[in-house]
Structure formats: structure tokens, C-alpha cells
Structure 1
Amino acid sequence: MDVRQLRYFVHIVDYGSLGKAAEKLFVAQPSLSQQVARLEEELGVALLLRSNHGVTPTAEGEALYRHARVVLRQMEQLRQEVTQGGVAASGTVAIGLPTTMASVLAVPLFERVQDMFPAIRLQFFESMSGYLNELLANGRLDLAILFRESDTPGIGSVPVFDETLYLLGEPGGDIGARSGTCALAKLGGVKLVAPGVSNGLRMLIERVFASEKIDLNVVADIDSLPSLLLIAHSGRACTILPASAVAQLDPARMPRMRKIVEPVIRRPVSVCWPNSMPMHAATVAVRRTLLGLIAELVERETWKGVTLREIDRSM
């Protein structure tokens, strides 16, 4: 087993196809298949399941994939630190941002890292939090912002803030057009669109409505932030989201936003990382920069609906 074989294998799993991986690597597909066969022979297990739809890793392949990504990242870090004269804060850092927060954090974080650590190359992954959690657990991310407040096996975290949820759209009824708040009880039976049932935000909404014994009327499951906002703006249904979801939205397309009260709905937000291996200097630098940036945005009131927790910015 060598680094080249590991790199080939990781690309195959990432692309889900021998053909696509071969194209990306500029390697003939038969040669790529041969390298995988040698790996499987050496390890004595099947690593890939092949079908007409591509390839997926077996359980043993998943284990190899996780470890291979760590090894390849360490090799890249070693190469960059040596070639760049021992500069510690260098290398690639992959960070996952929930879709609702990317518009608030991605550009400022990119600019600050570029200014402070020009030898660090950022990779941004924007997606729903559940998928980011999966990427983090599989070793594909170095850092991620997730909606949790405690560690789980394999993942460390530092709680950063609590995010308030808002009603977007016009629910009708006796809610004043100029009111900046909406009591949760007023939402009984109101048409709502929300992310799918496996989404963390959806589960929080369902849990709060159930605990308050209020009828939750979700008329469509939509795992698309732009679509949720467009529907809320159209007046056909409302949605429930944090203020960060509309931070960069054109005011002309902004649905009416009211803070949900009685009770206020909040969710904890943490910066997370895999804790199975020591953290590289570049990842530590980006984590510290991210924590400081979040604190600054909240303290300057640039970020609405956020309650900052005590943060150790020197982490």
C-alpha cells in the first residue's frame, strides 16, 4: 500500500465512479482498476461495490477512506510546511457552513484568512447541517458549523452562540401587519413550508410545536433555502428560519419577518472538528479566526437574532 494508491482510492469514492476519477487523475481507467484490485488483494477484503450506477465503498472501504484522507492531508501538510520554509500556518483547510450561514460568514472568513494567513487555502462546503455532519465524521472536513452544543464520539465542539428563529411570510389571521413578533400559538394550522423530516431545523420545529400542543401544518418539504424564501415571499405559505437566511437577500424579495415568541425558539450553534487525530496548525489558525470573526459580527450587531456565548478566542 502506498500514497498513490490511497489517493486513487479517495478520488474513486469522492466521485463515485472509476471513469470520473480516472479523468480527474489523468490516469487510464484500467490502470485505476488494477490499483484498486491490488489494494483489495493486499488487505484481503472488498473495498468497492460496483453497479451500473457507479461504485460505493463497502464497510471496509469506508474505514480505509476515512484513514486515507487523514494520511493524505498529513502528507500535504508536511510537503507545504517543508517547501514553504517551515511556515506553520499553511496548507488546505476544509470547512463546512450551513446554507443559512454561508452568506454571513463565507466572504468575511475568506478575506480574513487571506489577509492573515496567505499560505492557507480554504475549501468551503455549503450544505444542510446533516450532510455537513456526515462529511465531518468521514474526515472530509476539518471544521464545520453544526447545530449542537456538546461533543459526540469522534467530533469535538465549542458552543459559540444561540440562534433565534423567525417567521417569514404573512400568516394572516389577527397578527398585525406592522407587528415585529408572532406568538407561536398564532401559527396553529398556518400553512408552512420547511426542510425535510430528517433536517435538524425541521425536527426542532416539530418538537416545539408538539410540546406547546399547537397544530403544525407543513404543506411541503423543501430542502432548498432559495425556494423556501421565494414561497414565503409569494404569500402562499410561511416558513421558519434564522435571520442569517435572509442576511444577503435583495430587499425587494424579502418576505416579512417576525420573531416567534411565547416561547422564543432558539437553537445552539457550535464550531466542530474531528477529534480522532491531532489538529494541524492551519486548522487551529482558521478555527481561531472563525471564532473571532463570529464574535465581532455579533458584537457589532451585524448578525441579527444571535446571542453570543462565552468564547475562548485563543483556541
Structure 2
Amino acid sequence: MDIRAMRYFVAIVDQGSLTRAAEVVCVAQPALSQQLATLEDEFGVPLVHRSAKGVRPTEAGKTLYRHVRNILRQVEIAGADVRVAGAEVSGTVAIGLPTTAAAAFGMALIRTVRQRYPQVRLQLFESMSGYISELLNQNRLDFAILFRDTPSRAVEPEPLASEPLYLIGTPPVTAPRPGKRGSATADTVPLKALDGIPLVLPSGSQGLREVVERTFAKAGMNLNVVADLDSLPFLLASAREGLACTILPASSLGDGDATVPRRLIVPELRRTLSLCWPRALPRSNAAEAVADVLREIVGERIALGGSLAPAG
């Protein structure tokens, strides 16, 4: 199995179609089909399921895909390191940013990297943290910003900051009144007052959802999630229209959300912002340089005295 065959196989899985993959790698479809058949003969197992809708990897194909992505990434890093040894920082750096982190740091990161390291090409993936975690576990990212502080076999987190969470929106009139469970003010709401109120939250794979679930369970409270919404605009729209409240950091709110009710949850419910590295990939010079820029940007935001505070 050579490098070319690896690139062909990755294209087939990524595109989900032999026709589209052939266009991406600029070879004839029959030749690409033959390369796939040769790979399956070499390993002795089917690597993809074929159907009228295209192709999708078998379990064996998924395993091969993960290894091949690692190999190709290491080949790319090796080539970049060799070319730039003793020269300026350059190469491609793939970064995953959850939507809220992208809004807070994305443009500052792009601007600073462009000014400081013009030979570095950024690839930014913005999505909910669950999808970013998948990309990181598949070694498709050099690093990511995630809302977690616990390490795993695949990911090494580096806590950068923490921020408090707010109740966004006004609880429906049918929900138990917060005053019965604690003393609320115009700016705060007791955690116990959230027991049973209708909430819209990101799905269970997201870092914020894990923080909320863990906190409610520890307090013996009923977490009443009426909709799982992996979309920041939908979460805010639901709160804005009074359909249900949500729980988010203040940094999630845009300039147009100044009138949306928000109250700090007390005692404070916080989430940790971490720079997360895949353990299986070596860290390139370019990735380390971009990570330094991100650390600098987060440090500047903490120094401004807003909602961000030093981690731990």
C-alpha cells in the first residue's frame, strides 16, 4: 500500500462516491475502482459498502481510514518540517473551534497568524463541540478548543480559561416560580430555581451539556430538556421567543441579543476552555506557533476583566 493508494482511499471515504472521489484526485473512475479493489485484495476484507447512493466504509474500512489519515498527516508534517528547517514558520494548521469560541477568538486568531506567520495556512473548522471532538479523535485536526478539562487516551487538554454560565431567557409561566426555591435578583438566579424548568440545550455529546448534566445530577435536580439543539442560533432564538430557556456563557450572546434576559447562575456554574491536542499526532512547529498565538489572545481577554477567568 503506497502513499497514492492511501490518498485515493481517503478521498473515496470523504466523498462517499467513487465518481466525486475520482474528480477530486484527478483520475479516471475505472482506475480508482481498480485501486480500491486492489486494496481489498491486499487486506482480504471489504473496505466499503457499495450501493446506488454511493459508498460508505465497512468497520474494516473505518479502521484503515483512521490509520491512513494518521500516516498521511505525519507525511505532510514531515515534509513541511524538512522544507522549513532553519527557515520561517510555514505549513498547514487545522484547528477546530466550537461556535462560541469561533465568535470570541476566530477573527483575532486569523488576523494575528496572517500578520505574524504569512507562510502558515489556517484551516478552521467551526461547529458544535461534539463534531469538533470527532474530528480531533480522528486525528484530522492539529488541535482544537473544547470545553473540557479531563484527559483521555486520545486527547490531552491544556486548560486555558473558565467562564460562568447564565440562564438565558425567561422561564415559562407554567414552570415553578424561581422565588419558591431561592432568592433571585435581576442579575442572578439560584441554581435550585432551575429544577424542572423547560430548557433547550446542546445534545449530550457537547461539552456544555456534560457540565450541566453533571451539576444537576450532583444537586439532585430534575433536568427538563424539551429539545436538543446543536445550533447556537436556534438556542438563542428559542430563548428570545420565550419557548424555553437555555444555559450559555455570556460570550455566546451577540450584539443583537442585548434585550434577551440573562441571569448569572449562583452558585456559579462554570465551564473550562481547553486547548486540546490529539495524542497520536506529533506537534508541528507551525501548530505550536499558532497555539502560542491562541494562548496570547485568550490571556489578553482574561486581562480585560470580562467573563473569562484563569482556568482552575
TM-score (norm 2): 0.88
Which residue number in structure 1 is paired with residue 264 of structure 2?
A: 259
> Which residue identity is paired with 1:300?
L
- The change in CA–CA distance for 1:4 and 1:151 in structure 2 (over 3 A counts) is same
Contact 2:178 2:194 in 1 (8 A): no
Which residue number in structure 2 is paired with residue 313 of structure 1?
A: none
> Which residue identity is paired with 1:181?
T
Query: What do residues 135-163 of structure 1 show as CA deviations (whole Å, max 9, x unaligned)?
Result: 11111111011222232113222111222
- For the residues of structure 2 that align with 1:87 and 1:11, how far apart are their CA atoms? 32
Contact 1:81 1:88 in 2 (8 A): no
Which residue number in structure 2 is paired with residue 308 of structure 1?
A: 310
- For the residues of structure 2 that align with 1:82 and 1:150, how far apart are their CA atoms? 34
- The number of residues matched between the two structures is 305
Superposition pairs of residues 28-43 of structure 1, within 5 angstroms: 28-43=28-43
Query: What do residues 22-57 of structure 1 show as CA deviations (whole Å, max 9, x unaligned)?
Result: 222232222211111112222333222223443222
Superposition pairs of residues 198-209 of structure 1, within 5 angstroms: 198-209=205-216
Cα offset, 1:253, TM superposition: 6.4
Determine which of 289, 293, 307 is the counterpart of 2:297. Answer: 293
Cα offset, 1:109, TM superposition: 0.6
Q: 283-292 vs 60-69, which deviates more?
A: 60-69
Which structure 2 residue ranges, 5 or more long, are not aligned?
none
Which residue number in structure 2 is paired with residue 280 of structure 1?
A: 284
Which residue number in structure 1 is paired with residue 235 of structure 2?
A: 228
> Which residue identity is paired with 1:307?
A
- For the residues of structure 2 that align with 1:284 and 1:51, how far apart are their CA atoms? 43
- For the residues of structure 1 that align with 2:41 and 2:115, how far apart are their CA atoms? 48
> Which residue identity is paired with 1:179?
A
- The change in CA–CA distance for 1:278 and 1:88 in structure 2 (over 3 A counts) is farther
Which residue number in structure 2 is paired with residue 23 of structure 1?
A: 23
Superposition pairs of residues 139-158 of structure 1, within 5 angstroms: 139-158=139-158
Contact 2:139 2:281 in 1 (8 A): no
Amino-acid identity (%)? 48
Contact 1:150 1:159 in 2 (8 A): no
Cα offset, 1:224, TM superposition: 1.1
> Which residue identity is paired with 2:12?
I
User: Which secondary structure does the structure 1 equivalent of 2:271 belong to?
Assistant: strand
User: Which secondary structure does the structure 1 equivalent of 2:217 belong to?
Assistant: helix
Contact 1:81 1:87 in 2 (8 A): no
User: Which secondary structure does the structure 2 equivalent of 1:163 belong to?
Assistant: strand
Which residue number in structure 2 is paired with residue 69 of structure 1?
A: 69
- The change in CA–CA distance for 1:245 and 1:288 in structure 2 (over 3 A counts) is same
- For the residues of structure 1 that align with 2:257 and 2:272, how far apart are their CA atoms? 30
- For the residues of structure 2 that align with 1:212 and 1:21, how far apart are their CA atoms? 51
- For the residues of structure 1 that align with 2:219 and 2:166, how far apart are their CA atoms? 17
- For the residues of structure 2 that align with 1:203 and 1:177, how far apart are their CA atoms? 25
TM-score (norm 1): 0.87
Contact 2:74 2:282 in 1 (8 A): no
Contact 1:88 1:282 in 2 (8 A): no
- For the residues of structure 2 that align with 1:72 and 1:104, how far apart are their CA atoms? 32
Cα offset, 1:89, TM superposition: 1.9
Superposition pairs of residues 106-121 of structure 1, within 5 angstroms: 106-121=106-121
Which residue number in structure 2 is paired with residue 250 of structure 1?
A: 255
> Which residue identity is paired with 2:262?
M
- For the residues of structure 2 that align with 1:41 and 1:174, how far apart are their CA atoms? 65
- The change in CA–CA distance for 1:281 and 1:183 in structure 2 (over 3 A counts) is same
User: Which secondary structure does the structure 2 equivalent of 1:148 belong to?
Assistant: coil
- The change in CA–CA distance for 1:71 and 1:273 in structure 2 (over 3 A counts) is same
User: Which secondary structure does the structure 2 equivalent of 1:5 belong to?
Assistant: helix
Superposition pairs of residues 98-177 of structure 1, within 5 angstroms: 98-171=98-171, 173=177
- The change in CA–CA distance for 1:80 and 1:153 in structure 2 (over 3 A counts) is closer
- For the residues of structure 2 that align with 1:86 and 1:29, how far apart are their CA atoms? 42
- For the residues of structure 1 that align with 2:279 and 2:206, how far apart are their CA atoms? 24
Query: What do residues 252-299 of structure 1 show as CA deviations (whole Å, max 9, x unaligned)?
Result: 5652211111x2111222111112232111111111211121111221
Cα offset, 1:82, TM superposition: 5.6
- The change in CA–CA distance for 1:254 and 1:126 in structure 2 (over 3 A counts) is farther
- The change in CA–CA distance for 1:254 and 1:142 in structure 2 (over 3 A counts) is farther
Cα offset, 1:67, TM superposition: 2.8
